[in-house]
Amino acid sequence: MKVIIFTSTELRHIALSAFINKYFEVLYVFSEEKAFNPGEIYSNTEEKKLLDNWYSLRRTEEQRFFDNEVGFFRNKYSDKISTIEAGFINSNDVFEKTKNLKADAILVFGSSILKKNILSLDIPIINLHLGLSPYYRGSGTNFWPFYNEEIQYVGATVHLISSSIDGGDIIYQNFPKIEKNDNFHSIGCKTIIEGFHMLKQSLIDVENNCLISHKQDLTKGKLYKRTDFTPTHLLKVQKMIERGLIIDFVNNLPTYPHIIK
């Protein structure tokens, strides 16, 4: 099974490549730089400090969960990783290389939205979305369940790529196991790991010609945009967690939403 991965540059993104390479042949990794840095758009010192601290804590948790495997993969397979400037993932050069490599499947996690040149390739293109579709689609979709006090909607969705943002046919979904000593970012890393395993199973299904997917009801849920997120939202979530939001959730597990397994 030969795989191409479209992703980004953070530890969690390269960790996917390292994980998948244990089980399948990763032909190439297109690692796209991020165009959006929330901390750069706020001049207010307190807001910027809040955001910088938030993302620093995320990096710390990602190092704890993913650092060892990422270092090994980067060192051994550096010739298979190409860093792409933000906004150029749909360039003709990327398309031609992808087409010529003749992969059996493409995995997507964290890159920009793929356009019709890539989508026209006659192979499965499977996305890992950190959020439960259709309930939470778009950007920050494991942040907003905290903000809305619906932690039961934190999860990952593996779906076929379509022209609709996070709206393609669902293959698998799952939740992380949330514990009392978790923080927001450890829950995020657990969710990512669940997603990796679902991607692995999806590739096994492709290999065995038994991949099954299910259409989404896009009249449900909400599509969130990057511009919806502000430091004010983040401050509210931090205060709720400090007051015991995660512990209360573990102690009083609500009804989970319907997901596809």
What digits encode the pLDDT tens for the residues 177-189? 999 999 999 999 9
Residue type, 194: E
**Look-up of token digits 């792409």:** 84
Q: In sequence order, which residues have a C-beta less than 8 Å from that of residue 196 and are 6 or more positions away?
A: 15, 16, 19, 20, 128
Question: Which residues sit opposite 189 in a β-bridge?
Answer: none
Q: What is the mean pLDDT of the chain?
A: 94
- Per-residue pLDDT reduced to its tens digit, 49-67: 899 899 999 999 999 999 8
**Look-up of token digits 């969710």:** 191
Query: Strand 105-109 relative to strand 125-129: parallel, antiparallel, unpaired?
Result: parallel
CA distances from residue 261 to 5, 126, 204 in whole angstroms, order as listed: 23, 15, 15
**Look-up of token digits 């996070």:** 166
Q: Which of 13-17, 72-76, 130-134, 179-183 has the lowest mean pLDDT?
A: 72-76
pLDDT at 39 over 60: no
Mean pLDDT, to the nearest integer, of 122-134?
97
| Domain 2-251 CATH class label | alpha beta
Angle at 253 between CA 251 and CA 255, to 5 degrees: 170
